[in-house]
Structure 1
């Protein structure tokens, strides 16, 4: 009875919470069902809508076989183990342990992406547990490009080794690729077993600064210092980093000893040699985890199909947008050609000579006019040329206009500093419960802080 009631809700949102199922039953029948009964009803509803949980595992190899016949360049890797009945091997039956897949448009798209990859794992929420591993990149227009997926038993060293090995084999075929992840020990162990495939010069391992701040907070129980750790990572010059580092050392030598155990090129912009491309967190891969949130509640074949249909829609839409721009370009080509020629005559080609990267000072030469400039990352085309030359993200220097963030639906942890912080602290007197503008000790304000400024 419960299954029939919640079917429309589950079909719309497979990530429907169990407490929502309980609330729906309460509103329909004025009866409070148990958590277990509501959970079982949700699993049965998913099985009725998206296929039986056990049969889905049996159907998965057949679905992949049909997909590969249509797309011969797709990458599929399946690991299985024999099934035993007692001490005897069951013939013609094998148990799925891990599966890796990537679609050819994703593989080909990485050739035109920035040489940066973010990896992350997230839990499956269906009847059978496991983890979904994902790797993503980003193109020059800022579009997130999912690269590969894998369903494994969990975030173990063997599972990450399986994932990274096939990622390197099928997708990452060039050197000097930046790999950003958290500091999970299993990822570190898998990289150590990769025979150099994920070590310099093939790849450069770097960490998400939010995870480092989270680890720091968990180790010292000092959430008020998390922002300082993040600021150290975002420092663009050695001088700025040293200032933040000195502030941390003033608060305790133990803090700096802990941070010194992490190589500075692994978590800071000032020492990254351009391999981070301005990416300090694993946010883009977490975006894909959010997109697949509902699919993570489905049987395994439906989960794989969800990645196929989502990416098929993405690439179809991007192709249509490209065609529109291409047609517009033909109409505009004659005008643009004349305009470009006049601009080249006026401005000339720009040559960049790195003058002082630590302090972000660059020397420029306009080849036509011979005029030399020295710029400290100012705006306009000279600054863009400098950023492109040194693989810096110019968008971080452009002020953003935001209308507010969407409501967070995931469980918060110590990384969510803004959402978990305590009372507001005044930067003038250090007191809690008010800001600097309303501080009672501010010059010209009354004791209550409500009088106008003199």
Structure 2
């Protein structure tokens, strides 16, 4: 029909929302600029940034449900999930109806672990109003209660390294050192942590899971939870197939452990070993240059050298977590399809109502996080 005028009354946000619906359905995180380009290509018309932003919100609501309706359906969906997946744990903390006019951005908190092959495994999620002290307390309290019981420690892999770092701490201020002393070495120094941290000293591993959840963060709450559930199913199914394939191929240890062990075997040849008792329990090892002892519960080169000297099997000193049989167990949990909502039992629990006071109020140029 030629070029559409910029003030065309029929090309409103509802019309455009229906036109771009397939795009939003396949990629909820589609950028607003991409929507503007799509409309320009299809209708030969350039819509404003705000109309494109509003269009995306309407299309998401049509495909994934509205913001308020999503909260009302959330409790029912979670109750069905826990019935069909008895190992799942859900904790919902609510406020009685509405609470003032405060504003906050919704935040997704994620806790991850690693298997014996250094693969990242999501283990817990929390949807909270923001990164507040109360929200973190809620998440960490339930994480400790239902998932883990380990303490955090500081970054010193060997005693000598700890001594150097502690001396620097004292030089900076006596009060710092005394404060750390009150905590107890086991709780904040890696070399004294009894192996609970497996050599890990970073929380940035969780950033690697963002690609798995890409696009889901823009969705209403129920659609986000549902997408997370099915994407976790995809991860566990794929990783389970990969680990079982490696096990069938005859590998005893994970790729990570195999590389570490092979490197330590090669470096063990330059170590001089002296045995100090008849039970093979006390050895003195020397090497040049001096190396560091790892805290990953793998036989480092000193142990391998002692085993070679006394004809012992070094495999006895590899922790079970690195064996393929144990890595396979990480992914033995299987997700189940929840089925159509028409087949679900009637919901008898409390009703969740979206708190409009906590919804982001757009100021200036519309944005999504």
Size of the alignment, in residue pairs? Answer: 263
What is the aligned counterpart of 2:203 among 282, 301, 310? 282
Per-residue deviation at 1:135? Answer: 0.9
* Aligned-partner SS, 2:96: strand
CA distance in 1, matches of 2:204, 2:221: 25
* Aligned-partner SS, 2:199: coil
Aligned twin of 1:306: 227
CA distance in 1, matches of 2:47, 2:302: 61
Aligned twin of 1:184: none
CA distance in 1, matches of 2:210, 2:146: 22
1:363-442 correspondence runs (5 A): 372=283, 374=285, 376-377=291-292, 382-383=300-301, 385=303
The C-alpha deviation readout for 1:287-317, integer Å capped at 9, x for no partner, is: 1233213111111111111121112222223
Structure 2 gaps of 5+ residues are 1-14, 253-264, 266-271, 305-313, 323-369
Aligned twin of 1:138: 114
Matched, 1:169 2:156: no
* Aligned-partner SS, 1:145: strand
Matched, 1:160 2:132: no
Distance 1:243 1:314, change over 3 A: same
CA contact (8 A) 2:299 2:318 kept: no
1:20-31 correspondence runs (5 A): 20-31=34-45
CA contact (8 A) 2:153 2:189 kept: no
What is the aligned counterpart of 1:14 among 25, 28, 42? 28
- Give the TM-score taking structure 1 as reference length: 0.46
CA contact (8 A) 2:158 2:293 kept: no
Aligned twin of 2:73: 59
RMSD over aligned Cα atoms: 4.7
Distance 1:328 1:54, change over 3 A: same
* Aligned-partner SS, 1:281: coil
Per-residue deviation at 1:149? Answer: 0.8
The C-alpha deviation readout for 1:221-246, integer Å capped at 9, x for no partner, is: xxxxxxxxxxxx6x755766888999
Per-residue deviation at 1:275? Answer: 4.5
The C-alpha deviation readout for 1:190-218, integer Å capped at 9, x for no partner, is: xxxxxxxxxxxxxx2358xxxxxxxxxxx
Larger strand share, 1 or 2: 1
Aligned twin of 2:261: none
1:231-246 correspondence runs (5 A): 236=157
What is the aligned counterpart of 1:33 among 15, 26, 47? 47
1:3-402 correspondence runs (5 A): 3-83=17-97, 129-172=105-148, 175=149, 177=150, 204-206=151-153, 236=157, 256=172, 274-325=195-246, 327-329=248-250, 372=283, 374=285, 376-377=291-292, 382-383=300-301, 385=303
Distance 1:316 1:263, change over 3 A: same
Per-residue deviation at 1:371? Answer: 10
Distance 1:162 1:31, change over 3 A: same
- Give the TM-score taking structure 2 as reference length: 0.56
* Aligned-partner SS, 2:90: strand
The C-alpha deviation readout for 1:377-401, integer Å capped at 9, x for no partner, is: 599964285899799xx9xxxxxxx
Distance 1:390 1:141, change over 3 A: closer
The C-alpha deviation readout for 1:356-382, integer Å capped at 9, x for no partner, is: xxxxx9988999999956153599964
* Aligned-partner SS, 1:75: coil
CA distance in 2, matches of 1:301, 1:364: 63
CA contact (8 A) 2:107 2:129 kept: yes
